[in-house]
Amino acid sequence: MSDVLEFADVTVTRGQSTLLDSVDWEIEEGQRWVVLGPNGAGKTTLLQLASARMHPTSGVAGVLGEVLGAVDVFELRPRIGLASSAIAERLPAHERVIDVVVTASYGIVGRWRESYDRLDLGRARDLLDALGAGHLAQRTYGTLSEGERKRVQIARALMTDPELMLLDEPAAGLDLGGREDLLARLGALAEDLEAPALVLVTHHVEEIPPGFTDVLLLREGRVVAAGPLEITLTEANLEKTFGLPLVLEQHGRRYSARARDEVAADAG
């Protein structure tokens, strides 16, 4: 079994709906994946499985060498970092930012000696610094802007030193400067050999950080294509994924996409 993630014929159904349909997906250590797809494609459902918060209806979902359904998820979950708006909503608004980050590790071990506390605080500060949020450490979490909260959420998810890090639309709600800054920091994370395997969910090719290696394209619960970014992220695959004629452009290590019709109109 793959070290990080191995899904074989994974299907998730709820009532009459098929949320994921026979998904095969493998993540090796060191890989940085983007999951791209339109609203309702099943991206968040995929992360629910990858974070051991949901089991497949059928098929085999292996995460960090364990098979979902045959492992104590409470032992598995601390090995996985997850930053998502659903988790963010549960963070206490009245807490100081540094505490929001540091308590991520208390959730796991429960009791720490004072010497460990200091190590933890140091790590939390380092992570906030790395995400450009060091100056916010003493602020009350509930007073932060959306962009500032995103950084804190990512720092918190990294606090437990996870082996797999999942980011569900980290750039949603950010302004242009905020998005570009976050992408640069995620790019630095992607290039850090010590960093965990990464999975970033987005709707937009513009939000693929530099340094990401692979892409999984999802439409209506089915995998359209999956593999190395440079050969898998093609105009044809993107059109199949989003269901409209598109122009895809590459600018160095970044991408942009727009509807093909508009291009024709521009050309007169």
Ligand X SMILES: Nc1ncnc2c1ncn2[C@@H]1O[C@H](COP(=O)(O)OP(=O)(O)OP(=O)(O)O)[C@@H](O)[C@H]1O
Question: Between the CA of residue 18 and those of 9, 22, 164, 229, what are the distances in Å?
Answer: 13, 10, 26, 27
Q: Which region among 14-22, 102-110, 125-133, 244-252 touches ligand X (by CB under 6 A)?
A: 14-22
Length of the chain, in residues: 268
Least separation in angstroms between residue 57's CB and Mg ion is 19
Asked if 85 interacts with Mg ion (CB under 5 A), we say no
Which alpha helices (H) appear in the chain, and where do they start and end? 43-50, 73-76, 85-88, 97-109, 114-130, 146-158, 176-191, 229-232, 235-242, 260-266
Query: Hey, is 95 helix, strand or coil?
Result: coil
Least separation in angstroms between residue 216's CB and Mg ion is 14
Q: Scanning residues 31 to 90, which ones bind ligand X (CB under 6 A)?
A: 37, 39-45
Work out the widest C-alpha separation in the chain, in whole angstroms. Answer: 70
CA end-to-end span of the chain? 54
- Residue 28's Cβ-side half-sphere holds a number of Cα atoms within 13 Å equal to 4
Q: What is the CA radius of gyration of the chain?
A: 19
95 vs 220, which CB is nearer to ligand X? 220
Asked if 19 interacts with ligand X (CB under 6 A), we say yes
For tokens 């050999």, the residue is 193
Q: By the 8 A CB rule, do 254 and 208 touch?
A: yes
Q: Scanning residues 122 to 161, which ones bind Mg ion (CB under 5 A)?
A: none
Q: Which region among 9-17, 91-99, 118-126, 241-249 touches ligand X (by CB under 6 A)?
A: 9-17
Choose from ligand X, Mg ion, none: what does 41 bind? Cβ within 5-8 Å by kind. Answer: ligand X
Q: What is the dihedral of CA 30, 36, 40, 43, to 10 degrees?
A: 0
Select the residue interacting with Mg ion from 44, 103, 140, 213 (CB under 5 A).
44
43 vs 151, which CB is nearer to Mg ion? 43
Least separation in angstroms between residue 154's CB and ligand X is 18
Tokens of 165: 């890090």
Least separation in angstroms between residue 39's CB and ligand X is 4
Q: By the 8 A CB rule, do 40 and 30 touch?
A: no
Q: Scanning residues 163 to 222, which ones bind ligand X (CB under 6 A)?
A: 203
Asked if 2 interacts with ligand X (CB under 6 A), we say no
Task: Residue 102: name the closest of 78, 134, 124 by CA.
Answer: 124
Binding flags for Mg ion, 24-43, as an x/- string (CB under 5 A):
-------------------x
13 vs 44, which CB is nearer to Mg ion? 44
Choose from ligand X, Mg ion, none: what does 138 bind? Cβ within 5-8 Å by kind. Answer: none
Distance CA 200, CA 211 (A): 12
Choose from Mg ion, ligand X, none: what does 37 bind? Cβ within 5-8 Å by kind. Answer: ligand X
Binding site for Mg ion (CB under 5 A): 43-44
Binding site for ligand X (CB under 6 A): 14-15, 17, 19, 37, 39-45, 203
